[in-house]
Amino acid sequence: MPKPTDAVVLTLPQLPAAGRVCLALYRDVHNAAAIRAELLAGNTTYARYAFLDPRTVYSVAHVLAAVYRALTDCTAGSMRTRSVASEIVFAMAPSMNIADGLRRFGIKDDNDSLLVITLVQEDEKDQESVVFERLDKIVTGHRVVLSDASIAELTNIELLRKNYKFPQGVQITDPTEANNAILGAVALRGYS
């Protein structure tokens, strides 16, 4: 059984009205195709979660940059998708093509790992433990400690290079340069 410390719960100081951001990383996932089917069918239980393919994630900061981007777009009334959860997945993308962003960074039928994000509003009765208990029932897999190291074990560098269309000069093997390039792509999407 996962320990409560396996997941990450944050309050974003710049956006306190957004509530608490809850993140969890799962490995040995056996039902990604079923989860994706429920999302496509519009199941509202599943729609509150942003399901990311961890192979396309570089760091916790990368995910938080997408969360910030999605929440600021939501606050500004400029969301391009139907929900905050799908906006988070879309915010990972460097382009303005919604379908492409969801396809490249979102859940895939063959995922054997998932990074999941949800928001818990202050006025909701659910505590984080209840949120994670529900999520553990949705995802058939093992929740593991979420950290840059656990993400790095799953990251596919060549897939990141392809998704972000990094030029040859960008050394994405250097952690600082890679993180800066990826965070810049998330922050500047739509401005270049």
Mean pLDDT, rounded, for 110-117: 97
- Cβ burial of 109 (10 Å; 0-12, 13-18, 19+) is exposed
Confidence of residue 168 (pLDDT cuts 50, 70, 90): confident
- Under DSSP, the state recorded for 4 is G
The answer to whether 32 and 111 have CB atoms below 8 angstroms apart is yes
pLDDT at 71: 92
Round the CA-based radius of gyration of the chain to a whole number and report it. 16
pLDDT at 150: 96
146: left (phi over 0), alpha (psi -120 to 50) or beta: beta
pLDDT at 126: 62
Q: Enumerate the β-bridge partners of residue 106.
A: 52
Residue 96: name the closest of 117, 73, 112, 115 by CA.
73
- Give the DSSP H or E segment for 113: strand 113-120
Residue 1 confidence (pLDDT) above 70: no
pLDDT at 166: 82
CATH placement of domain 4-188: 3.30.2380.10
pLDDT at 69: 93
- Under DSSP, the state recorded for 23 is E
Residue 94: name the closest of 163, 158, 157 by CA.
163
pLDDT at 127: 73
- Could you state, in order of their start, the residue ranges of all structural domains in the chain? 4-188
pLDDT at 188: 83
Mean pLDDT of all residues in the chain?
88
Tens digit of each residue's pLDDT (9 = 90 or more) over 16-27:
778 889 999 999
Tell which wins on pLDDT, 50 or 82. Answer: 50
Residue 10 confidence (pLDDT) above 90: no
Residue 192 confidence (pLDDT) above 60: no
Residue 84 confidence (pLDDT) above 50: yes
DSSP-based three-state secondary structure for 44: helix
Tell which wins on pLDDT, 10 or 3. Answer: 10
Beta carbons within 8 Å of 123's beta carbon, 6+ residues apart: none
- The count of residues in the chain is 192
Confidence of residue 32 (pLDDT cuts 50, 70, 90): very high
Backbone φ and ψ for 106, nearest 5 degrees, come out as -85, 180
Instruction: Report the alpha-carbon distance of residue 145 to residue 33 in Å, rounded.
Output: 23
Instruction: Report the alpha-carbon distance of residue 177 to residue 180 in Å, rounded.
Output: 5
